[in-house]
Structure 1
Amino acid sequence: MHARPNASLEAIYLLRHGETECNRAGRFDGRLDSPLTAKGVAEAKRQGRTLRSLIGPAEDFHIVSSPLGRAVHTARIVAEALARPDAEIETEKRLTEIDFGVWDGLTLKEIEQSFGAQWQERNKDRWSYRIPGGESYAMVARRVESWLRAAHGRLIVVTHGAVERVLRGSYAGMSEAEILSLDEPQDVLFRLEGGQVHRH
């Protein structure tokens, strides 16, 4: 699969928000607005410092974030590290995390106990299975690729685990299976440039 990025898209520095309270508790936070932990704030500050060392004040980069609080908080920390005002951060709903529907806020154990059959169905086809009341990875891919085709210039993007995986994979032309096998780090910066994905 490949989103065929806009020819005017020069580069994306891509990062996931820092650790949240849900992450620490092993819960799916999806569309919930789980706040960053102290560790998550430290991760965001570290990413900001890394960006600063790579691209300086980044005055020619546009900052784009998922509208969810944990991503916006991370984007603000990164903007501060780059000496950029919060007002320059654009939010983009197509970069919002996958909707876990009835599983939002639950641990894996709770999902297996209450939604065992549905969980097994999802494991058979993780890409296409739509979570009850939520989304499938295929649905996420459609909105992420729509955004990627329209993106242009030089961007700093703050998003979420599932969306970050889909965005990296789609940009690099990976298969669905390859995308699902990607990791979801909260302390790594990715550079998408020239059709390649680089890890910093």
Structure 2
Amino acid sequence: MIYLCRHGQTFHNREGRMQGQTESDLTPLGQAQAAAMGELLLDLIRRDPPADWRIVASPLRRARQTAEIIGARLGLPVAFEDRLMEISVGDWSNRLRDEVKSENPALLSDPEWAFKSPGGETYEDIMARLSGWLADQAPEPERRLVVVSHGIAGWMLRGAYAGLPREQVIRLDTPQDAIFRLANGQIDRLSCAPVAEPA
């Protein structure tokens, strides 16, 4: 079983900037979202001995911060895995999403626009590394993983797990207030308790 989490909101998310593999910290809302994920996960895994579970995260700071908040709640250490990093968006890194699209009008109607950044990763690049990571994990039902990754990397991991066609993968959602359970060939979305921007 894998419980797949996306990192909480970052300052770049809030500004509409493309992060890719660059760094941005969690906002106070993002920290609250991470804490809500930790609470939901505590409830989900309490039937199993904690020692049976591992937390693995992308080493990018936003995923690291989210995983460490979750790990503190679950009483588990966090390991890091480069293959769980977000897509590289090359020359578009740190740029406003709307600005990039206004400069490239063809992107407005292209569902695969995020894979077309100059110097960035393609769909095939990121699918290969996420599929490779998944193939290296223990088989079900021995698998007991909490994974903290990113929006597009999360698409890819869910797509690789379920064997989804490309046109479905690129339309998956990327919530920061829910966890996906990948088990027995199925993917279930589990909503966290609502959180608000701290005052």
TM-score by length of 1: 0.86
For the aligned residues, what is the CA RMSD?
1.8
CA contact (8 A) 2:16 2:98 kept: no
Residue 145 of structure 1: aligned partner: 131
How far apart in 2 are the matches of 1:59 and 1:92? 20
Which segment drifts farther, 182-191 or 126-135? 126-135
Distance 1:124 1:187, change over 3 A: closer
Partners in 2 of 1:27 and 1:91 — Cα distance? Answer: 24
| Aligned counterpart, 1:4 | none
- Offset of 1:34 from its aligned partner? 0.3
Aligned letter for 1:75? A
Do the aligned partners of residues 192 and 96 (structure 1) sit closer, same or farther apart at CA in structure 2, a change above 3 Å counting? same
Report the secondary structure of 1:170's partner residue.
Answer: helix
Q: CA deviation at 1:128?
A: 9.7
Unaligned runs of 5+ in 2: 191-199
Aligned-residue sequence identity (percent) comes to 41
Classify 1:42/1:125 alpha carbon distance in 2 versus 1 (closer, same or farther; 3 Å).
Answer: closer
TM-score (norm 2): 0.87
Q: Give yes or no for the alignment of 1:175 onto 2:165.
A: yes
Aligned to 2:6: 16
Conserved in 2, the CA contact under 8 Å of 1:99 and 1:134?
A: yes
Q: CA offsets, 1:57-104, max 9 Å, x none?
A: 6321111000101101100000011122xxx31111011000011111
Structure 1 consecutive aligned stretches of length 4 or more whose deviation exceeds 6 Å: none
* Structure 1: 5+ residue stretches without partners: 1-10
Count of matched residue pairs: 184
In 1, the alpha carbon distance for the partners of 2:114 and 2:29 equals: 33
What is the CA–CA distance in structure 1 between the aligned matches of 2:21 and 2:63, rounded to whole Å?
11
1:29 matched to 2:19: yes
Equivalent position of 1:162 in the other structure: 152
The one-letter amino acid paired with 1:28 is M
Deviation digits for residues 27-78 of structure 1 (CA, Å, limit 9, x no counterpart): 1111111000000000000000000011126321111000101101100000
